[in-house]
Amino acid sequence: MPEAAVLIDPAPAMDAEVEVVHPVGIDMVHRTRPEDAFPRNWVRLSHDRFSVAATLPHDHPFFAPVGDDRHDPLLVAEAMRQAAMLSFHAGFGVPLGHHFLMADLDYVCHQDHLGVGGAPTEVDVEVFCSDLKWRSGLPVQGRVGWAVHREGELAATGSGATRFTNPKVYRRMRGSAPAEGISIPDAAPVSAVRAGRRRDEDVVLSETGRDGLWELRVDTRHPTLFQRPNDHVPGMLLLEAARQAACLSAGPGGFVPAEASTRFHRYAEFGSPCWIGAAVLPGTAEAAVKVQVTGHQDDELVFSTVLSGPRADN
């Protein structure tokens, strides 16, 4: 989501805090329920590099295991996103009231190192910050890189572009959008099994009667997707919609989104239909799938993503 150019101040001098372990409050990762907050503590490795210890639950009701008992890649992506928010809030002093906005998010999960088993998984999320632009002693935008390790093995990598906006600027940017949107869907969900879900309440698509096209189904009562009042549809819900559209397009057996490359172009608003389209891309094999998914609202592109990975039954 582009923003006007900002004045660039030099980064303030900071002393490295090497091997000082800091606990995490759930407010630092923008969660209100402890079961949805995955970082546990953090260490500053250098001025722009952090190590975040996180726990991937084995029994989360929404981020349930996928495929052959592997952690959901979207759970890993969410853990990376939370680790970035934590690093900027705790490491660089970005106030908790500021808005954390991502313009793009790419990740690659190595499923061989993401087996679940019967207990939570401890991982180390290394966060690399670069291309930081500063204003009044605080970062206002930059890039983030992630490397997720489990027992010394590389389990996932990712990168994204982010920016931070204080509440006053954010409200001005959002214009007439209400501070809190409420959406209770009327349309029935698509089949949970076909969408790669186990529960109807987690399905975020409804049928349109057209092949490869669904309507986004937004329910602000969902406890994980809507942690607190929001004035737009969260990016995680859009990523989930993309996963479900990819599962529907992949056909029987479902699909695990082990890799994704996503661009967010504008906010998805409440009160207007958002159409999710998906198409299987050339090169898809019997055991693997590659799908392009887009979201459009009011004839404008909201987001686009390419998801790839194995079929869920492989």
| Residue at 311: amino acid letter | R
Hey, which residues does 253 pair with through a beta bridge? none
Is the domain of 197 the same as that of 127? Answer: no
N residues, the chain: 314
Write out pLDDT tens, residues 173-229: 888 887 788 999 999 999 999 999 999 999 999 999 999 999 999 999 999 999 888
Is the domain of 29 the same as that of 127? Answer: yes
Domain that holds residue 197: 177-310
Is the domain of 137 the same as that of 30? Answer: yes
The mean pLDDT value of the chain amounts to 91
> CA angle 97-297-161, nearest 5°?
45
Write out pLDDT tens, residues 11-27: 444 444 446 889 898 99
Instruction: Retrieve residue 128's tokens.
Output: 């690399």
Write out pLDDT tens, residues 95-105: 999 999 999 99
Question: Nearest 5°: phi and psi at 119?
Answer: -145, 160
Q: Across residues 118-142, what is the average pLDDT?
A: 95
Is the domain of 151 the same as that of 115? Answer: yes
Distances (CA, A) of 192 to 56, 135, 202: 23, 46, 8
Q: Is residue 16 part of a domain?
A: no
Write out pLDDT tens, residues 26-41: 999 999 999 999 999 9
| The pLDDT of residue 178 | 78
Is the domain of 27 the same as that of 166? Answer: yes
Q: Which of 157, 172, 187 is the last residue of a domain?
A: 172
Q: Which of 144, 172, 200 is the last residue of a domain?
A: 172
Q: Is residue 2 part of a domain?
A: no
- When divided into structural domains, the chain yields a total of 2
Q: Look at residue 248 and give its three-state secondary structure.
A: helix
**26 neighbors 86 (Cβ within 8 angstroms):** no
Burial class, 136, CB count within 10 angstroms (exposed 0-12 / middle 13-18 / buried 19+): exposed
CA distance 37 to 30: 8
Q: Is residue 14 part of a domain?
A: no
